[in-house]
Chains A and B, each alone.
Chain A
Amino acid sequence: MSSRRYGPLHGIWAVANRELIKWYKVPFIIGISLVQPVLWLALFGKAMNLGNLFTSSSLQIPGLDLPSQVIDELGRDIMLRVFGVTDYFSFLAAGMLSFIVLFMSMNSGMSLIWDRRLGVLNKLLTTPVPRSNLVIGKSVASVIKSLAQASVVLLVAVLLGMRFRAGLSALDFLGTYLALSLLSMGLSSLFLLLALRSTSWESQMMIMNLVNMPLLFTSNSFYPLQMMPWWLRDVAVFNPITYSNEAIRGLLLGVPGVNLYLDFAYLAAFAALFTGLLALMARRMLSR
């Protein structure tokens, strides 16, 4: 028994698998967590139709009798310049993918807090799973959940009329999932980090509520960077959500001027930093 060898990744999948079993056993909760992004998509995305503002039906300049074609052309040009696509809905839908990932990943710390409060953590700590892997497993589960939820949001967006760029390939989707995975890994690890020592799920909830909106609105989820006032832009360039949005919009929508190398490098660094920090701190802080 004691001669059994354990690799450096030992236990990660075991821990993740437990979280996943618990998750897919309750389809109700999976449904609930989809409500918000889908509402954003259906209500905000469809009603806030910026593209329509710049068409001949809504734009008329008194005294100037421009042909509707010209106005439509002008509108499309404005949209392309600002959003990189002609329809705002697709722009927003791409942003919603990071949105759902943020919402799912934030929950990663909660299960750790409950494990600690119920004494489960103490039991886990007596097994030969490296301390760091006990929490990284939870991060991994959180990533998988996030990707599954993001897939549903993507599907709903397509049904509601999201349009991809011409010449879309499977590689673009792969890149999208990679960007979302990195974002989720970083965010999940960050929130687990906050929960490492905590026994209070109330304070964790407070933190989650406190940071979700700021994180969302200081990113380019709703509007592009160049529309922001300078002070907001200065904040947004640090927000990892900005980079995943940009990468995804570049890949799926063909928004021009996207630097994929920078986006993926930033996301990878973000994920590596917080996963590394989590592993390091878990070794020190997980046991009392």
Chain B
Amino acid sequence: MYGRLVAVDHVDLDVGEGEVFALLGPNGAGKTTTVGMLTTLLRPTEGTAIVGGYDVVREPDMVRRVIGVVPQEYTADEDLSGWENLMFMASLYGIPRDEARRRAAELLEMVELSRFARVKVESYSGGMRRRLELAMGLINSPRILFLDEPTLGLDVQTRAAIWSYIRRLKDEYGMTILFTTHYMEEADLYATRIAIMDRGRIVKVGTPRELKDSIGGDVVTLNVDSMAAAKEVLRSAGIDAREYDGSLVFKLRDASTALPEILRALMGSGIQVRRMEVSEPTMDEVYLEYTGRRLRDAQASSEEAFALRATLRRARS
């Protein structure tokens, strides 16, 4: 695939209908390669995948009919208007003209680009282009929508806006969505389930809640008058607390309901709790736990790098 480098190594995934599934990982983790194989762009050297009931290796044409793809790059033709781009996509799917017109108008309305339908894409802003890409990916009413880094290079506000469109489209059309991202909070906020990818492998799959729980629950920090006694009480409750910076720190599953119980036990033993703090683990911590690092830059091919730069440049224009 990329010379002798194995970009994706025996990934095993199962995404249910109607899910919003996130592939989370740094650049070069193999997310785009995975999506490439699922969208029939790349042929897996080994193994197979079933998308929408069809085998990507044996029935790629059937897969292509039921999927919509919004790639990382801006793929709209800059020389054409938004409307022309949509009509072009419709013709690639063989959608009859009347139906295509109706659908294009509806989608442009949905992503609030109706006003700019006749304007050349060249003059669209990054956010507008992303919205157009979304509309283009939906022209064939796909059952499964693939979004590869749908908010890459956009500012925080525009990212939020793009997600509100995605959610609205999802509510309206009820499709299954698989997206890739390297933004932790995006996966956390919008995905029903997340697969953490690293170095071509899936290291963990679960709902955001499950993932956070899987690293041992919420992080509780207690400031007590007697450390030793408190530790003893905690140990009898099956909790292994560490002393850290004059406080006791421990992980607790489902802290909001479990903590009062523990406080009662501590106070019952005559220990005074002066200060307490509960923090939910962030996806960042989850990621750290499973991959051993935060973000890692990976080498990309020059072709990818060029496309990425072009995308970023246009996103910022």
Task: Using known A-B contacts A1-B65, A119-B72, A120-B75, determine if residue A125 contacts B40 with beta carbons closer than 8 Å.
Answer: yes
Contacts of B36 in A (CB 8 A): 122, 288
Minimum CB–CB distance for A9 against chain B, Å: 11
Do B1 and A119 have beta carbons less than 8 Å apart?
no
Task: Using known A-B contacts A14-B91, A125-B41, A128-B64, determine if residue A117 contacts B303 with beta carbons closer than 8 Å.
Answer: yes
Do A122 and B71 have beta carbons less than 8 Å apart?
yes
Q: Is B88 an interface residue (CB 8 A)?
A: yes
Task: Using known A-B contacts A1-B66, A2-B65, A128-B64, determine if residue A122 contacts B91 with beta carbons closer than 8 Å.
Answer: no
Do A122 and B73 have beta carbons less than 8 Å apart?
yes
- Most interface-central of B69, B71, B77, B89 (chain A CB within 10 A): B77
Report the separation of the CA atoms of residues A122 and B88 in the bound assembly, to the nearest whole angstrom.
15
Q: B74 is contacted by which of A15, A119, A199 (Cβ under 8 Å)?
A: A119
Do B310 and A288 have beta carbons less than 8 Å apart?
no
The range of chain B's interface size is: 35 or more
Report the separation of the CA atoms of residues A288 and B304 in the bound assembly, to the nearest whole angstrom.
12
Which stretch of A18-26, A92-100, A144-152, A187-195 is in the interface? A18-26
Task: Using known A-B contacts A14-B92, A126-B67, A288-B1, determine if residue A117 contacts B141 with beta carbons closer than 8 Å.
Answer: no
Please name the residue on chain B nearest to A120 by beta carbon: B75
- Interface of A, secondary structure class, is loop
Please name the residue on chain A nearest to B141 by beta carbon: A1
Do B65 and A4 have beta carbons less than 8 Å apart?
yes
Task: Using known A-B contacts A122-B75, A288-B41, determine if residue A117 contacts B306 with beta carbons closer than 8 Å.
Answer: yes
Do B93 and A122 have beta carbons less than 8 Å apart?
no
Contacts of B311 in A (CB 8 A): 119
Q: Is A118 an interface residue (CB 8 A)?
A: yes
Q: B42 is contacted by which of A13, A14, A120, A287 (Cβ under 8 Å)?
A: A287
Interface residues as binary, A251-288 with B (CB distance below 8 Å gives 1, 0 otherwise) = 00000000000000000000000000000000000011
Do A18 and B88 have beta carbons less than 8 Å apart?
yes
Selected A-B contacts with CB under 8 Å, 29 pairs:
A1-B66, A1-B140, A1-B143, A2-B65, A2-B66, A4-B95, A6-B94, A11-B91, A11-B92, A18-B77, A22-B77, A22-B79, A117-B303, A119-B74, A119-B311, A120-B75, A122-B41, A122-B73, A123-B69, A125-B41, A126-B39, A128-B61, A128-B92, A128-B93, A128-B94, A129-B92, A287-B42, A288-B1, A288-B42
Knowing that A18-B88, A128-B92 touch, tell me 14 more A-B residue pairs with CB under 8 angstroms. A1-B65, A2-B52, A6-B94, A14-B92, A17-B91, A18-B77, A22-B79, A26-B79, A117-B310, A118-B310, A119-B307, A128-B61, A128-B94, A288-B41
